[in-house]
Structures are given as structure tokens and as C-alpha cells.
Structure 1
Amino acid sequence: MRSCTRWRGLPLRSGILLLVPPLLFALQLLVFGPRLPRPAGTGVEEQEEGAVAFSVISIEPERNSHQRRSTSRGPGLLQEEEEEEEEVDDGETREGARAYEDENEMHSRQVGPRTLEVQPWVAGKPSFAAELNRIVTYITKPQLNCSSVLSPGQPQASQPPAGSPDWLLCAEDWLLPAADVPCVAYSFSMDGGDAEFLKTVSGLGCEVHSFDPSNSNASGGHLGNSLESNYGDGGVVSRHKMWLEWRAPRKRKHKTRGNQGSVSQTLADIMAALGHHTVHFLYADLLSAEWRVFQNWIESGTVQSVHYLVATVHLQWAGFEVGGADEEVLRYWFSVLQGLQASGLKLVHSSAGEGRSVLKQTVANGHSSYTLSWINTRR
């Protein structure tokens, strides 16, 4: 009897022992389960209440101590070598920084195109005749009529004279410099070709600067390759044996007021050296260098610091550092003129020069040169 009871209790004890591991595992899940890592959720609904989710992104500019500048290239332009960065000592660096700040202050107020936009072909394809007709039509059609003008050699405003003078300055009251603002005038011309212009702006009482690298006659004012100013001495002409450059020097040294300058400098550097933020009247006969100079003014924004511009454009050959087929050159010239217009200049007068040669070809509907008068309506 006892034997039977012993054998019947064995299955019960064995079953209880078999239930112990599952019970222990279940107890472990209850105690430690909430601490187990959960799969990362992708939705906002899976975040715990009150939790804050954010990302931190760090962006640092790529630094390159050997950066180089290159001029824009396009049809009608010859390639230029890249300019190398100049290494200067601490003194020159501080001086350059001050000049750069002065120049930057002037440029920060300027709004306009920074690159020259090459215009599409007028006929949809290269055509010398079509491109010539477009540019001649453009430079012979004034965009603004002035009822009151300043004529060559005449500092008093009057009605437009009869005939076709070489240039005219629009003398509308809203366009002339304010009476309480000292006006500044620059002239870039050789062999006295700017005499009438100098007479006009001197009569207005402007601070006048004449630039001529061939000038060897000190007929009053300053002379030499130094940039000295008459500091507002109205009517006095400061003469500088210097010329305009369209490229930044390979070893650029910023000039401050009164420092010695090179034989040629950019307009921005000349203005910075003389302490001018604005040139109210500017005359330029640059003997075919005008196209690259204009491009530099457009891309640097310097043109927007010029209120009145009288300039002679030469069409008999492509010009300095301008190349390509004839129709490409014509399209480049037109693109430069469009860049001036986009910068705020409006044509008020056009005077044709002598000769009928355009890019060494004799033409019936064009002249070898034109003297153009612009006014900046965005000042």
C-alpha cells in the first residue's frame, strides 16, 4: 500500500519541478523587461510624452589659404592668367585691410550685376551685319531726353544746342549734385583732348583730377604718379601722370590717401587712394581699352559710383585683350553696353566720330568711333 502511494506522488513532484523554470523566466520579464532597449522609432507618435527631439548640424566653411581669383571669360575675350595671392608683412597687411574696408564701404552700397552677361545672337546665329546693325542702333538712340544741358566748355545750364556737340551733360535739377555736396570730376585723356570737359567741371566748382600718362607739362595743380588731392579746392585741376587699368595688379598693394601709386591703377583703387566714394563727372577716352575697363567697372560695381559718364568707344579694331571672330567681338561690345544699362546708366547723347571702318571693314551704316554721354539714374 505504501509502495503504491510513493509511486503516485512522483509524477506530481516532477510536474511542479517542471513549472519552476517558466515561472522564474516570467518573473524576470516582469522585473527587468521595462529596462530592455526598445527599437528606435521614426515617427513622432512613438516618442515618450514630454520628450524633446532635436538635431545639431555643424557647418564650417572650407578654408583654402591658396585661393586664386580668375576673371570671367566669354565669347570675344582672351583668356587671362589667374592672379596669385600676395604675401605681405604685418604692416602692409594692416594698411591693405584699412584700404579694403574703405573700398568695401563704397561697394556695399552698390546693387547691380557682378558678372558680365553675354547677350544672345540677335539673329539666332552669328551674323556680322545683324550684330553691327544692333550695336549701331543702340549707341545712336538716346534713352533719356534732357531739356536742360551742360555743353562743352559751358558750365551754365542751357537748352540743347543746335547741331551735334561732342558730348552733353544732362542738367536737370534732380540729376545735378546737390549744392551743399562738393562734386568730384575725373578725366582720363591724352594730349589735351579733355580741355572743354575740364573747363566745364572746373566752372561748376568741382574737385577735378586729370589723368594723362603722357603729360610732361606741369601747367598747374599736381603732377606725377602720386595720388594727391586738392581736397575740395573747387576749380583747381590736380594732374596725375597715370592711366586706367582693368586688371588688379599681380602683387596688389592697396593705396591710401596720398601714397605713391603705379603708372596705372583701377578706378576703384584711384578713388580709394583719393578718398572718394563718388565721382560725379567722369570723362574717358581710353583708346580702345574702354571695353575691358567698362567690364571691370560692371563686375566690380564701381560704375554705380559714377553719376555722369562721357566716354569714347572705338570700333575700328577689337580692343586690348579682346579677341574672337568679328561677330563675336560685336556681340561682346553690345553685352558690355547692356551691362552699363543694367547698372543704371542711360544714354542721353551720341556723337559720331570720323571714319567708316568697323573691325577693319568699311561699312556704310557705322563709324569708327562714337562719343557717348550717360547719366546714372539709380544714384
Structure 2
Amino acid sequence: MRTCVRGFGRGGGLLLLLLIPSLLLGLQLLLVGPRLPSAHRAAAGLEEPDAEVAFSVISIEPERTEPQRGDASRRPDLEQEEEEEEEEGGDMKDRRRREGVYEDENEMHSHQVGPRKVEMQPWAVNKPSFRAELHRIIIYINTPQLNCSRVVSPGQALESEPPAASPRWLLCAEDWLLPATDRPCVAYSFSMDKGDTDFHKTVLGLGCEVHSFDPSNSNTSGGHLGNSLVSNRGDGGVVSQHKMWLEWRVPRRKSKHKTRSNLSHVSQTLTDIMAALGHHTVHFLYADLLSAEWRVFQNWIESGILQSVHHMVATVHLQWAGFEVGGTNEEVLRYWFSILQGLQASGLKLVHSSAGKGHNVLQQTATNAHSSYTLSWVNTRH
């Protein structure tokens, strides 16, 4: 008997060690089994209960990590921008962050497209027609939208009644449209044929700070000449000249902040020029852009900068479609009319029109139209 007990003690301990894992597994199935999905329970040999079991679905998202340089999913322009920032140094990057220079995609898109798009107008007669489209434009630019009882004529600084002979352009001199005498007055002119001489005399006589933009190398006496906007601030009675021209293409993304110190390119948008010179308003603007006016106007409409321009005198050229304007003659005329409508939608009202020489429109002779027109607008929304 003692021998049996001693034998059982040694063998029993070994038997208990072998039974413990089985007992634990059975206990686990009893406790966890009711909470398993049916497929897992069937695999475990458990019957499906009558009551339904509610499950909570937990979405596990992989932890986001910073993309590494050279990752194919990264935008090349972003990598280039970061390289430029590294070259600028840590102090420059910190300053740019504080100034809010960085743009996300939405900000870039807003800057590119602007607050308003040019809305293409319907055909004049519901189908392409050169005669109908041209007639619509000629009627529009020869019909003043605002009558001015007092005007300022070219080369004059005193307001008067409209002259009997039609001048090349006019400035509307109604009291509510002219800048206050106790506030700064700013005038810009863009011309490469020196056709803005009378405009300079007029706005200088009105006491304006005058800036002339011409990419040529010529210079007039008494002016300041430079290819940047750093030191060319207006002096009383002197026209500040800039070797610069208007750009209508807005960069997709700007990696550097526009300041006076780095605005030295030959072409800049009107928005960047005003920002570099520290001007929030241009009271008088003169532009003879030699057929680039249509795309420039589109840029001004879409950027919303026309809200900051009070008076505008501009020559439109009809001999050919213009820079970066394509399509059939009928499509070009429709585009031109849509641009004119966009100017009106921006607040500009036509006050005067003067016809130029010739009767050539899109390389066709048009006896009822002229090759160019100088138009005078005033912004009634400022």
C-alpha cells in the first residue's frame, strides 16, 4: 500500500502537470467562446446561441510618418522649396513662418485663379458670326456708361467742362471720384512709345506720386531709372521710372515672398508691383500695352486688383488677336467682348472713347471699325 501511494505521488504529480493546459484551454473556451464570431466558434466546436451578439468595429489607422526626401509620392516643387529654405538658413525660415509666407494648395489655387473668373459671354446671334461679334464690340466701346460734367483733359491739371473736340482720353473730375487733396495720390503709366507724356503732366499737376514702367533702356531727363522697385519712390514733380513691364501669367507657386529687395525681374504682375511699392491704391493708371492688354486685363479681373484702381486709361488694339490669344476670328471677338464685360463687372464704367488710325480688325478691313481705341474708365465702387 505504501509503495502504491508513493508511486501514485510521483505519477500523480506528473499527471496533474499534463492536465493543467487542457483544463485552462477548456476554461478559456467557456469564457471567450460566446464573444467570438460564428466562424471562429464553429472552428472551436461551439454551437451558435439563439441571441445575436453585438460587435464594436475599431478602425486602426497606420501611424503617419513624415515622408522622406526623394519619396515618389512627394511633389517635386515642395522638395525644391524645402531645399531653398535650407539654403536660406534657420533664421530666415523662422522669420518666414512668423510672417505666414507659406501657402497650402488651397491658398495657391486661390491666388492663381483669383476671386473672379472671366465669364465667357454667349454668341451675339447664338452662333459664330464675325460681323455680329464685331458690331457688338464697336457699339459697346462707343457708348459711354457714365457722363461726367467736369473732366481733366490730357496735359491739363485743372478740371473743366468736356471740350468740344474729343481728346484722346479724359479723366472724370467729379468730386466724389477724385482723391482728397489731403491724402496721397498715386499714378502708374505703362507705355513703350512715350505716349504717356501728357498723362504724366496731368497727374503731376494733380499732385500725384508718379511711376512710369518701360522695359526699354531709354530715360528722360529729371527721372529716376532702375530695374527694381527698391529706391524708386516718387518725388514731388518727378516721374520715377522703372525698367519693368507687366506680367499676366501668375506663377503656380511662389517659393519666395515678394519684397522690395527681390522684386527685380523685368516683368511683374500689377499686384506684385503695388505690394513692392507699398501702394494699396492706384488713383490713375495709364496703359498702352501693344496688344498684350487683353491677357493683362484678364489677370486684373481674376486677381481682383481692379478694386484698387480708381481711374484707368487704356488702349485696346484690334489688328490681331494679341499675345497668347488664339482661336477663330469669331472666338477672338467673343473673348474680347467677355473681357470688356469683366472690366465692367469689376466696377469700371466707360466715360470716354477715342478711335485710333486704320480700319484693320484681325487682319480684315472693317469700314465701321478702327484698328485701336483709347478708352477711359472710372471705378464707381472704390
Match of 1:317 in 2: 320
Aligned with residue 278 of structure 2, among 257, 264, 275:
275
> 8 Å contact 1:99–1:256 — kept in the other structure?
no
Q: Secondary structure at the match of 1:188?
A: strand
The TM-score with structure 1 as length reference comes to 0.72
CA RMSD of aligned residues (A): 2.9
Whether the 8 Å contact between 1:204 and 1:235 is mirrored in structure 2 is: no
Q: Deviations over 1:81-119 (max 9, x none)?
A: xxx985531647655985969xxxxxx9xxx95111000
Structure 1: 5+ residue runs without aligned partners?
1-36, 41-63, 69-83, 102-107
Shift of 1:256: 1.3
Q: What is the rounded CA distance, in whole Å, between the counterparts of 2:345 and 2:97 in structure 1? A: 31
Q: Classify 1:290/1:86 alpha carbon distance in 2 versus 1 (closer, same or farther; 3 Å).
A: farther
- 1:368 aligned onto 2:371: yes
Question: What letter matches 1:173 in structure 2?
Answer: D
- State the match for 1:210 in structure 2: 212
Report the secondary structure of 1:219's partner residue.
coil
How many residue pairs align between the two structures? Answer: 298
Match of 1:290 in 2: 293
1:179, CA displacement in angstroms? 1.4
C-alpha displacement at 1:230, in angstroms? 5.2
Q: Secondary structure at the match of 2:284?
A: strand
Is 1:149–2:155 an aligned residue pair?
Answer: no
> Aligned runs of 1:61-80 on 2, under 5 Å?
66=75
Partner SS, residue 116 of structure 2: coil
Q: Which residue of 1 aligns with 2:123?
A: 121
- The 8 Å contact of residues 227 and 274 in structure 1, kept in 2 or not, is answered as yes
| 1:236 shift after superposition | 1.9
Q: Which amino acid aligns with 2:85?
A: D
Match of 1:300 in 2: 303
Distance in structure 1 (CA, Å) of the matches to 2:101 and 2:221:
33
| Aligned counterparts, 1:11-160, within 5 A | 66=75, 88-89=84-85, 91=88, 94=95, 98=99, 114-160=116-162
> In 2 relative to 1, CA 227–288 (structure 1 residues): closer, same or farther, beyond 3 Å?
same
Aligned to 1:341: 344
Q: Is residue 257 of structure 1 aligned with residue 253 of structure 2?
A: no
Quickly say closer, same or farther: Cα 1:85–1:266, change in 2 above 3 A.
farther
> Counterpart in 2 of 1:78?
none
Normalised by the length of structure 2, the TM-score is 0.72
Q: 1:67 to 1:275 in 2, by over 3 A?
A: farther
Using CA pairs under 8 Å that are at least 6 residues apart, name the structure with larger relative contact order, 1 or 2.
1
Answer yes or no: is the 8 Å Cα contact 2:155–2:201 preserved in 1: yes
Question: 1:217: Cα distance to partner?
Answer: 2.3
In the TM superposition, residue 274 of structure 1 has moved relative to its aligned partner by 0.5
Summarize deviations over 1:234-256 as a string: whole Å, max 9, x none: 33210001100101247744431
